[in-house]
Amino acid sequence: MAGRDGAPKKASVNEIPDRIVERIRPKCRPDSIILSGSHAFGKPDSDSDIDLLIIKRTRKPFHERYADVGGIIRKIRRDGRSRRSSSAPRSSRSAWKRETGSWPKSFPGGDGSMAAESSQPDDRFARGKADLPAADILLNNQGDPQVAAALVQQGVEKYLKGWLLSRGWRPAKVHDLQRLLDDAVVYDKRLARHYRLCEKLTAFYFVDRYPFIVKPPDPGAVKDMLAEALKFVAELKP
């Protein structure tokens, strides 16, 4: 539907779940989709989460199912927002370097204090560099494949945040690799080919942090994702 000026009309808060379900049904062919939370009670606001339970009989592992739905949501988000300018805005961190000639050790907080989180790209790269070999050691010594997968996710997250910091972009405080890759693609569209990997790895973050009842991942599948992640981070290394 178009507005008076011919531009696509922005969906209301109440219309968004219907739009998501319309996309999920033909792609995933679920047995049922259940809406819960504030949207189900008819009292959502602009900050409300959209809680959907998708029920389907399938043999696909959780990370593949998560990536299937994540890809659909990514396209909905992309279609519903205006595209960013190719010249991304610079952060206060870049202004600091221009004025002082060096990077700050951490970002200033809103109250003038210094946040504990380092803004040095090399700090993020170093931590990521430790996570990925640790995952490899676990996988080659009959370790827990879920723990190994979570380490791969953490390693890629740190590399992505370090890469964004090296370009003067203050990365979002999220663990969703898809969200971080959205920002990275502003700088280098070639990185978009890694969306599927990022969606699968994000699933392992949530499985590791929340008590979902899912089968442990196949070690061979995690090894394949580790190999793909190593190629990805090689593109992000300075």
Partners of 224 in the β-ladder: none
Give the span between the Cα atoms of 184 and 178, in whole angstroms.
Answer: 10
Query: What's the pLDDT score for residue 108?
Result: 44
pLDDT in tens, 192-216: 999 999 999 998 888 777 766 677 8
Give the span between the Cα atoms of 118 and 230, in whole angstroms.
Answer: 23
Q: How confident is the model at residue 14 (pLDDT cuts 50, 70, 90)?
A: low
> Above 80 in pLDDT, residue 116?
no
Average pLDDT (95-112) is: 45
pLDDT in tens, 43-76: 777 666 777 778 888 888 887 887 888 778 777 7
Helices (H), the chain: 16-28, 62-80, 92-100, 121-139, 145-166, 177-187, 195-209, 219-236
Domains of the chain, by residue range, sit at: 16-80, 102-108+115-236
Q: How confident is the model at residue 102 (pLDDT cuts 50, 70, 90)?
A: low
CB of 226 closer than 8 Å to CB of 132: yes
Give the span between the Cα atoms of 163 and 154, in whole angstroms.
Answer: 14
Task: Say what the pTM is.
Answer: 0.66
Angle at CA 10, nearest 5°, toward 91 and 13?
A: 90
Q: Among candidates 60, 219, 57, which has minimal Cα distance to 144? A: 219
CATH assignment of 102-108+115-236, among 3.30.2320.80, 1.20.950.20, 1.20.120.330, 3.40.50.2000: 1.20.120.330
Query: What's the pLDDT score for residue 91?
Result: 45
